[in-house]
Amino acid sequence: MVTEVTARLGNRSDIASRVPRWLNYAYFELLVNPQFDFFELDKANNSLATTSGVNSLDLSSITDLWALLSITDTTNNRKLTRSHVRVFDKIVPTSGQPTRYARFGSTVEFDPVPDGAYNLRVRYRIRPNELGSGTTFNNLGTEWEEPIIVIATYKGWIALKQYEDAAATKQVMDACLATRQDVPMLEDEDSETGFEPSLLFRY
């Protein structure tokens, strides 16, 4: 990928140390693009539990945590509602089975304060490692290499202040992204192409 981006930027010899950064900028920009949702980044942890009388839970043991997707109390088969710590700061704590949670740094706080040990299933999005020299492109499929290369090339032209080349590359980038479908879209019940059935009315 470094070789390809370097070639598209004219094989300049003064950008060798910068191309890997542009690739990582492109990589993470694609991962947070609201247009796509990557199942490759989804993960679950089922080994956590609340402690009676303790209103928070340390998540630092989940070393690859990027963003929480959901928390479910599997003891009572209840999905907790996401809230905000500012909301919790305005209420008088009560004790009981937690019904909602709020993230604060590397912890989550519960309301009500747990009155017992409840097993939790935490679904979250992992923060993948940066792309580096000699590493494999293993978080996403090969079909996403080209968009990352194009985005990195665009960022390279911007950084080099070659704005006409950047504008041309952006058109290629937009067209490239428009042809990609993530797994959730491919698995959508209406995504199958072909003949569409229709009702035939007889009078």
| Structure confidence at residue 113 (pLDDT) | 97
> Which residues pair with residue 202 across a beta bridge?
none
Q: Are 91 and 116 within one domain?
A: yes
User: Residue 42 belongs to what H/E stretch?
Assistant: strand 42-49
How many Å apart are CA 46 and CA 58, to the nearest integer? 14
| Structure confidence at residue 79 (pLDDT) | 96
* pLDDT per position as a tens digit, 29-85: 998 887 888 888 899 999 999 999 999 999 999 999 999 999 999 999 999 999 999
Q: Are 61 and 111 within one domain?
A: yes
Q: Are 66 and 102 within one domain?
A: yes
| Structure confidence at residue 71 (pLDDT) | 97
Q: Are 70 and 119 within one domain?
A: yes
Q: Are 18 and 52 within one domain?
A: no
| Structure confidence at residue 132 (pLDDT) | 82
Question: Is residue 134 a part of any domain in this protein?
Answer: no
| Structure confidence at residue 185 (pLDDT) | 58
| Structure confidence at residue 197 (pLDDT) | 47
Question: Is residue 133 a part of any domain in this protein?
Answer: no
Tokens of 141: 């499929």
How many Å apart are CA 23 and CA 2, to the nearest integer? 8
For residues 127 and 64, the answer to whether their CB atoms sit within 8 Å is yes
| Structure confidence at residue 147 (pLDDT) | 93
CB burial of 115-137 (b: ≥16 within 10 Å; e: otherwise) equals: eeebebebebbbebeebeeeeee
Q: Are 52 and 30 within one domain?
A: no
How many Å apart are CA 95 and CA 113, to the nearest integer? 5
Q: Are 18 and 70 within one domain?
A: no
Domain that holds residue 97: 41-126
Tokens of 169: 């590359």
Q: Are 94 and 117 within one domain?
A: yes
Q: Domain total for the chain?
A: 2
pTM value surpassing 0.85: no
The answer for residues whose C-beta is within 8 angstroms of residue 83's C-beta and 6 or more apart is 100, 101, 102, 111
Q: Are 64 and 91 within one domain?
A: yes
Q: Are 116 and 173 within one domain?
A: no
Q: Are 152 and 100 within one domain?
A: no
How many Å apart are CA 152 and CA 156, to the nearest integer? 6
Mean pLDDT per 10-residue segment, the chain (203 residues): 95 94 94 84 94 96 93 96 96 95 96 97 91 72 90 96 96 89 59 48 44
Question: Is residue 68 a part of any domain in this protein?
Answer: yes
